[in-house]
Structure 1
Amino acid sequence: MKIIINFVFVIGVSVSLFAKDYHVDASSSNSGNGSKKNPFKTIQQAANVMKAGDVCYIHKGVYREEIIPKNSGTKKKPIVFTSYKNDIVIISATKKVTTWQQHQGAIYKAQNVIMNLGDGNNVYFNYKKMQIARWPNDSDDNEYTLDAKFIDKTKGTWSMSFISNNEIPKFDWTGGIIHYLGAHSGCSWERTITNYNENLNRIFFETLPQKWPFGNTHSPQRFENGHRGIFYLMNKLEALDAPNEWFYDKVAKTLYFYAPKGENPNHHSVEVSHRKHVVTINKNNIHLKGLNFFGGMIVINGNGNKVSNAMIKHGAERLVTNLKGAAVSDAAVLINSGFQNSIEKCVLENGSVNGIILGKNTEDCIVKNNIVQNFNTIGIHACLLSSYGNRNKILQNSFYGSARDGVKVTGNNSEFAYNHVQKCLISGADGGLFYVTGQSIPKNIELHHNWFHNAHANDNHAGKKATGIYLDNNAAGYIVHHNVVWDVEWAGLHFNWDAIKNEIYNNTFWNVGPSNEALINSWVPKRNNYQTNVEDNILYNNISDVRPWWDSGNGKHYRVDEKEFKGKEADNIFSNNKQFSEIPFNTEKHTLFMPLENSPLIDRGLEIRKITKGYKGKAPDLGAYEYGGAYWKPGVDWVPNNFAWKVSNGYLNVGISTIKNNQYLGKASKMVKELQLN
């Protein structure tokens, strides 16, 4: 036995001794051997030979390649790709376009340009994404605001295969693309234009299917908010008439470009999409540290892989032309499968679809202390983060900016905690800062110590359907406690259909729409002749400003009043939830939401096993914070520096003014006779 043990020890020492450092420098020659004095030219040269314990030091420069590790590391000896010292390293999925020639006025063209990614084709000017030629123009340079036109709503001017509008420019739009967002505003779609009738001002496309998401929900058949949908048209050379626009003629292999401010593109960096991925990891225990990634996705299938201290910019940019459903799997970081993968202390910024996806075959993954902002500009069912796997943990992140929903967590036994989620539902509607659906099967997902705020759908077309925590169709088994929701326009909490066995404790809801609208909304219609019902949910120790508690509907103004959720016939346990006509907590930046001294919140809560443990005083406090307890603040705890690009600061917003200046507080006490604590 002693000989065997010594033999194993010798093997372990040998592996350690043979772990190597490799160097990569883009300015090197192809004959490099990976040493510091004679480095490899490409990262892939190192990726082809690295083994467990090896480290690849990448020197400053732009590397236009995809990293695909050939071997796996081990848990104790991962394979590491990192920057050399503090060098700025960019791994890019793009290629440069040069030799521009003037085409017409401020429009330039470049010939012999290969753009083979179809819906994934993009043009970047000094690392900023440009706009495919469109009408009407994106006048404010903001993809979220749409700058669209309403379709004609007169009978006969629209159908499931055409739309009309008298302002459409009169040139042949055949082969172009229509972007459409219906009156319900829950999900956009795009279609190839199959024909154009100039006399009728009409655009034709392949007939939409009657099934969801099209059918009666997201198509011209739906009349809501006074219209039948908005649209804009893209991808015709004749529409190229404004700065930031481009058009690619795939037959002639010619790219046309109107640069910002009409500048000569020869004097700037212009790049086009060349590959979809910047990294593909199908191995285990690969670490990416301190790197910058541009224009492509990081895709992971494996175990123990880690991305840290990295910036991913424009990682998932695409159109969704002729999509059959409402979602895509593209994301700046896509972890398809595997356990114990992690994303930590990274910045993910800008994308038309998803920021982070943890697929249904992931387990025990961690997303921690990241900044994820400005995704889902296109308005489909995409999120800043979606987690579908079991036991995943999403902790201490800052999420900002989405056309529709903010974040989604649906995997069993997962945790979403100490995150800051804001500025969602920018152009869409009928969604939430936290949004999920289910199958009326409890998931045991804990949602705690988060801030959710700033959800206001675009009232020009979408109506007021932007909520805080949205436990949509049949969501079940969410334990929601010690969260704060404020400055949303459509309920702080929403249940739908057979949403059951959710537990809602010690949350603070404030300024969640007009004071005549309820804190909690439900939608309980008949489906297949079966009456759905929100039931077996428990709500304790929650607080809000003064408003109706609960409103349920099925299209006929069915309403749940206080007798139902407090009486013997109640479907849910609703107890010790209180409302206030004056702010009972602090509104200063460093103690926001902490109970004021002598606040009526103090010691007035019910004790709840595991939820209110460690409380101060005689009993737990009401709401999300405990007077005298530790003050918690969600979101990242670091300042992003030393990346290739400046990080936008939207994620730092708090919106204290929307708490202090609650326009409904003065009117609230007149609406309800007794909602203040005695």
Structure 2
Amino acid sequence: MAVLGAVWAGAADVCVRANAADGGTGALEQPFRTLSQAAAVLKPGDTCVIGGGAYRETVRPVVSGEPDRPIRFAAVPGERVVVSGADVLTGAWSVHQGNIHKAAVELPVEQLFIDGRMMMEARWPNTPLDDIMVMQRAAAGTGTGYEQLADPNLPPGDWNGGFVLLWPGSQWTNATRRIVEYCPGQGFRFDRTMEMEKKDAFHSEDPFKPRAGNPYILFGSLAGLDAPGEWFYDTAARVLYLWVPDGASPATHTVEVKQRPLAFDLSKLSYIELCGLNIEAATVDMTEARNCLLDDCRLTYTEHFRETDMYKVPAPRTVVTGENNTWRHCLVAYSAGTALRIGGKGNRFENCIIRDADYSGSVAATLDMKRSEDAVVTHCSIFRGGRDIVGLGGSKRVRIEFNDIHHANMLNSDSGATYCFDTDGAGSVIAWNWVHDNLSEHTSGIYLDNFSRNFTVHHNVVWNCSATGIRTNSDAMNHLLCNNTIIGCTQPFGIFTFEKHVPTQKGTRILNNLVLVSHKPTDPTVFVQGELGPEVHHNGFGAIDASAVPTAGSMAIDAGVPVNGITDGFVGAAPDLGAYEYGGTAWRPGADWCEPRTELDLAFSPQPPVTETTMVRDGLLLWLDAAAPSGVESDAAGQLTRWLDQSGQNHHATAEDGLILVPAAMNGRPVVRSSGKGRAVVGTLRAQAGPLTAFVVAQAQAQETGASQWQRILGAWSGQGKEWTPPNWIILRPRAPVVSPFPAQIFMTQSTTGLTLEHVTVFGETSAPGHFLVGDIAEVLVYDRALRFDEALAIEDYLNAKWGLK
């Protein structure tokens, strides 16, 4: 009581202590024991001062506050106040088997905690407790479809009546089904079909059809309880089974189960403030609230659910709609779905940390701003989500500024760290953010999907995304993409158009971007071509330091053009390319209290020009050069027997029939010519699948009658599957179904992960003799890594100059 009296004398209208006696009046000397008692008597302008301890209740004020007279719930400084949605289990425990204990439990159990830490519902495969966002998953086998899952690795035990959680088809989301007819080592049936009632309108094949390779887990059966930290609740017998991480009896620990979704229900209320509170296993509902404030609160384990169904996910409970609400210096962490749903108008979130959301791997965004208007999210750190981090679907005039956004799609694929579909941003701004480390398959940094329009995206640093830095799928009209820095992505920009739609980026402008990624502006997968294409100019590359600021002498300095409202206040003769100005003010995004903080290490210096003597050697496994002195070996008849590797790795190509060295055939230099009768077989360059970059210079003159269609230039085969199906890959001649000449040109393929370098073959099929190229190959380079774009450009410049291609 001394602390309450010393700190809050004159400020506390109502006092609450978790250990207070019954019958309190709320006065300092006789505090209430529950927050709900206080909420029932608070009036506009009142402050409820809360002493340390746990309060297991849902609190709803009876009345709203008023302008300049809010109702305030505040923790005593230095004391830890917890408002919990969980209750403590107090029943008797007995040994079930080994380290597994059991107890009769009448309460429903869907989420369980030991000493404040969430335990894992028993599952297969097992998932470690140390990281909630890492989920070990099995892979469906051949025979998997809408009605059943097949897998020869299914574990023993009775899983009938349990659940499967499956990421079907393209793995955009997941769905649960009950397991029936379970057969270990074979498969099982779903209790109802996985086929969606409403078909996808944009794809010729169902992207949600379950297939071999789709990840899944099993849960909801005692058969899965085989590891520390796991539990299972038998709903019929009302018995809880639990393996405590340290192997001891649960009676030696505090065991809690979630019972209430809400700690505070502020829906349709106004001028309510929560300050300095810890909310655990529950959350705050501000649906249709107005002018409410959360300040310095910590919300953990806010939402949990077990079942999903594609795009049908339990509605978020951490909701802020209404108008002019503010969250400041708050943490929201550990949610099975969306961590925070923002709607309404004019709501603001600043200096917050939002992390570890959608650990179920559903379609839920970590921060869901669906249909929000005029919202501001600024100086927040938002990271580690199962799918997209910031969902902008249907939002208008929102501002996403100075945020550190990273590690999206930890459990899904083909989405962005920020994402929307068919959204008129109406002037929405995504600016001054760091967007990075979106590393699942087909993922982008900033993703404005099909039919989205009217977004301004400027001064973002985007790096380490598996696919595209900034993707604007068609229709993509009236966007401004300006002064962004893009590095460490497969391509900087991207466009995709649905079948039967005309590609368009009309009205979109793309300028002043510092692009440290390989791309070709004439590539229709990068930009729409022709009169419906975007305005693209003043984009380029140049040296930057570790903090992404151009270095002295960088080609990025003064290389841009002024853009009203975007480049105002630039330093020098003209704006620099990219997100930072040389000599300008350095800005840093994210919450200023987030630990660990993101540290940049993006230093880039362009690759100098290369020649045969200064060639990029790091990762070079194969270099076949028809112009190299003593580069080939031939027999007495002039037929090639070996094409010698210049990389120093001795990966020489053994020639089959019909290969000869032809002098002065390309820019006055020799080439190896194939008459379409045989290949040059290299063999294995690397045993494991992984990243690669390959270049080939080739041409074809007139084709002989009967020449093969689908002629191969270069490829590799793992020994299984089709040549064109990963991890296998091939480079085909242009217009492969048509047998016709093609001019000398560079062919290039690159992958960051997952392609083989076994059975490497030049001039023909990789898996068997056939589909021989009728034409010339001048040079081949194969690397076991994805080259930096400037390295690739330097090699392309070398090849162009050497072989007279430009």
Residues of 2 paired with 1:620 and 1:82: CA distance?
Answer: 48
Q: Secondary structure at the match of 1:669?
A: helix
Select 2:127's aligned residue among 138, 152, 162. 138
Contact 1:162 1:205 in 2 (8 A): no
The superposition leaves residues 211-238 of structure 1 with CA deviations (integer Å, 9 ceiling, x where unpaired) of: 357995554445xxxx441211101112
Select 1:403's aligned residue among 350, 368, 386. 386
Select 1:586's aligned residue among 539, 545, 548. 545
Q: 1:326: Cα distance to partner? A: 4.5
Match status 1:507 vs 2:484: yes
Match status 1:380 vs 2:362: yes
Residues of 1 paired with 2:368 and 2:208: CA distance?
Answer: 26
Residues of 1 paired with 2:93 and 2:200: CA distance?
Answer: 42
Q: Identify the residue that residue 128 of structure 1 maps to in structure 2.
A: 117
One-letter identity of the residue aligned with 2:358: N
Select 1:205's aligned residue among 186, 191, 197. 191
One-letter identity of the residue aligned with 1:42: T
Relative to structure 1, the CA distance from residue 183 to residue 109 in structure 2 (aligned partners, 3 Å threshold; closer, same or farther) is same
The aligned runs of 1:272-311 (5 Å cut-off) are 272-282=257-267, 283-301=269-287, 302-311=289-298
Relative to structure 1, the CA distance from residue 159 to residue 148 in structure 2 (aligned partners, 3 Å threshold; closer, same or farther) is same
Residues of 2 paired with 1:382 and 1:659: CA distance?
Answer: 35
Q: Secondary structure at the match of 1:288?
A: strand
Match status 1:105 vs 2:98: yes
Q: Identify the residue that residue 733 of structure 2 maps to in structure 1.
A: none
Residues of 1 paired with 2:200 and 2:140: CA distance?
Answer: 19
Select 1:345's aligned residue among 319, 329, 352. 329
Relative to structure 1, the CA distance from residue 244 to residue 604 in structure 2 (aligned partners, 3 Å threshold; closer, same or farther) is same
After TM superposition, the structure 1 stretch with the greater mean CA deviation from structure 2, 605-614 or 93-102, is 93-102
Relative to structure 1, the CA distance from residue 398 to residue 379 in structure 2 (aligned partners, 3 Å threshold; closer, same or farther) is same
The aligned runs of 1:241-280 (5 Å cut-off) are 241-280=226-265
Q: Secondary structure at the match of 1:670?
A: helix
The superposition leaves residues 435-467 of structure 1 with CA deviations (integer Å, 9 ceiling, x where unpaired) of: 11125x45210111000011111xxxxxx3121
Contact 1:183 1:230 in 2 (8 A): no
The superposition leaves residues 115-170 of structure 1 with CA deviations (integer Å, 9 ceiling, x where unpaired) of: 16xxxx101112111111112211575443432221121xxx32212112222234
Relative to structure 1, the CA distance from residue 284 to residue 194 in structure 2 (aligned partners, 3 Å threshold; closer, same or farther) is farther
Q: Secondary structure at the match of 1:623?
A: coil
One-letter identity of the residue aligned with 2:296: N
Contact 1:94 1:272 in 2 (8 A): yes
User: TM-score, structure 1 length as denominator?
Assistant: 0.84
Q: 1:655: Cα distance to partner? A: 5.1
Q: Secondary structure at the match of 2:486?
A: strand
Q: Secondary structure at the match of 2:794?
A: helix
Contact 1:123 1:270 in 2 (8 A): yes
After TM superposition, the structure 1 stretch with the greater mean CA deviation from structure 2, 243-252 or 532-541, is 532-541
Select 2:539's aligned residue among 564, 577, 583. 577
Contact 1:379 1:404 in 2 (8 A): yes
Q: Identify the residue that residue 496 of structure 1 maps to in structure 2.
A: 473
Residues of 1 paired with 2:280 and 2:314: CA distance?
Answer: 20
Match status 1:166 vs 2:158: no
Residues of 2 paired with 1:551 and 1:103: CA distance?
Answer: 67
Select 1:616's aligned residue among 555, 559, 571. 571
The superposition leaves residues 316-349 of structure 1 with CA deviations (integer Å, 9 ceiling, x where unpaired) of: 122224x362444325x311x3100111101112
Q: 1:100: Cα distance to partner? A: 2.2
Q: Secondary structure at the match of 1:539?
A: strand
Give the gaps of 5 or more residues in structure 2: 1-9, 607-785, 799-806
One-letter identity of the residue aligned with 1:127: G
One-letter identity of the residue aligned with 2:794: K
The superposition leaves residues 639-662 of structure 1 with CA deviations (integer Å, 9 ceiling, x where unpaired) of: 6xxxxxxxxx45x23352697999
Q: Identify the residue that residue 643 of structure 1 maps to in structure 2.
A: none
Relative to structure 1, the CA distance from residue 606 to residue 40 in structure 2 (aligned partners, 3 Å threshold; closer, same or farther) is same
Contact 1:108 1:258 in 2 (8 A): yes
Q: Identify the residue that residue 581 of structure 2 maps to in structure 1.
A: 626
Q: Secondary structure at the match of 1:238?
A: helix
Q: 1:196: Cα distance to partner? A: 2.6
Residues of 1 paired with 2:336 and 2:172: CA distance?
Answer: 16
Contact 2:120 2:129 in 1 (8 A): no
Q: Identify the residue that residue 319 of structure 1 maps to in structure 2.
A: 306
Residues of 1 paired with 2:41 and 2:522: CA distance?
Answer: 63
Q: 1:198: Cα distance to partner? A: 5.5
One-letter identity of the residue aligned with 2:554: S
The superposition leaves residues 162-184 of structure 1 with CA deviations (integer Å, 9 ceiling, x where unpaired) of: 11222223433222110111352
Q: Identify the residue that residue 179 of structure 1 maps to in structure 2.
A: 165
One-letter identity of the residue aligned with 1:340: N
Match status 1:653 vs 2:598: yes
Residues of 2 paired with 1:163 and 1:319: CA distance?
Answer: 19
After TM superposition, the structure 1 stretch with the greater mean CA deviation from structure 2, 408-417 or 385-394, is 408-417
Match status 1:598 vs 2:553: yes
Q: Secondary structure at the match of 1:616?
A: coil
Q: Identify the residue that residue 669 of structure 1 maps to in structure 2.
A: 793
Report the aligned-residue RMSD.
2.5
Q: Secondary structure at the match of 1:635?
A: coil
Match status 1:520 vs 2:493: yes
Contact 1:184 1:217 in 2 (8 A): no
Relative to structure 1, the CA distance from residue 478 to residue 142 in structure 2 (aligned partners, 3 Å threshold; closer, same or farther) is same
One-letter identity of the residue aligned with 1:630: T
Residues of 2 paired with 1:547 and 1:91: CA distance?
Answer: 52
One-letter identity of the residue aligned with 1:348: V
Alignment length (residue pairs): 602
Contact 2:467 2:489 in 1 (8 A): yes
Residues of 1 paired with 2:217 and 2:603: CA distance?
Answer: 33
Relative to structure 1, the CA distance from residue 307 to residue 507 in structure 2 (aligned partners, 3 Å threshold; closer, same or farther) is same
Q: Identify the residue that residue 445 of structure 2 maps to in structure 1.
A: 468
Select 1:451's aligned residue among 434, 447, 453. 434
Residues of 2 paired with 1:402 and 1:318: CA distance?
Answer: 16
Relative to structure 1, the CA distance from residue 213 to residue 272 in structure 2 (aligned partners, 3 Å threshold; closer, same or farther) is farther
Contact 2:47 2:74 in 1 (8 A): yes
After TM superposition, the structure 1 stretch with the greater mean CA deviation from structure 2, 295-304 or 664-673, is 664-673
Q: Secondary structure at the match of 1:435?
A: strand
Select 2:339's aligned residue among 355, 364, 387. 355
Q: Identify the residue that residue 13 of structure 1 maps to in structure 2.
A: none
Contact 2:385 2:407 in 1 (8 A): yes
Q: Identify the residue that residue 531 of structure 1 maps to in structure 2.
A: 502
Residues of 2 paired with 1:608 and 1:141: CA distance?
Answer: 48
The superposition leaves residues 545-565 of structure 1 with CA deviations (integer Å, 9 ceiling, x where unpaired) of: 14114587xxxxxx3578x65
Match status 1:52 vs 2:64: no
Select 1:114's aligned residue among 98, 107, 118. 107
Instruction: Give the number of the structure whose alpha-carbon radius of gyration is greater.
Output: 2
Relative to structure 1, the CA distance from residue 551 to residue 341 in structure 2 (aligned partners, 3 Å threshold; closer, same or farther) is farther
Residues of 2 paired with 1:663 and 1:636: CA distance?
Answer: 34
The superposition leaves residues 286-329 of structure 1 with CA deviations (integer Å, 9 ceiling, x where unpaired) of: 000000000012111210111110100111122224x3624443
Match status 1:330 vs 2:330: no
Contact 1:317 1:351 in 2 (8 A): yes
Residues of 2 paired with 1:561 and 1:89: CA distance?
Answer: 53
Task: Identify, as 1 or 2, the structure richer in helix.
Answer: 1
Residues of 2 paired with 1:288 and 1:659: CA distance?
Answer: 46
Residues of 2 paired with 1:310 and 1:49: CA distance?
Answer: 23
Residues of 2 paired with 1:293 and 1:408: CA distance?
Answer: 24
Contact 1:519 1:549 in 2 (8 A): no
Contact 1:306 1:341 in 2 (8 A): yes
1 or 2 for the larger relative contact order (CA 8 Å, sep ≥6)?
1
Contact 2:177 2:190 in 1 (8 A): no
Residues of 1 paired with 2:49 and 2:128: CA distance?
Answer: 44
Give the gaps of 5 or more residues in structure 1: 1-17, 458-463, 553-558, 640-648
Contact 2:195 2:209 in 1 (8 A): no
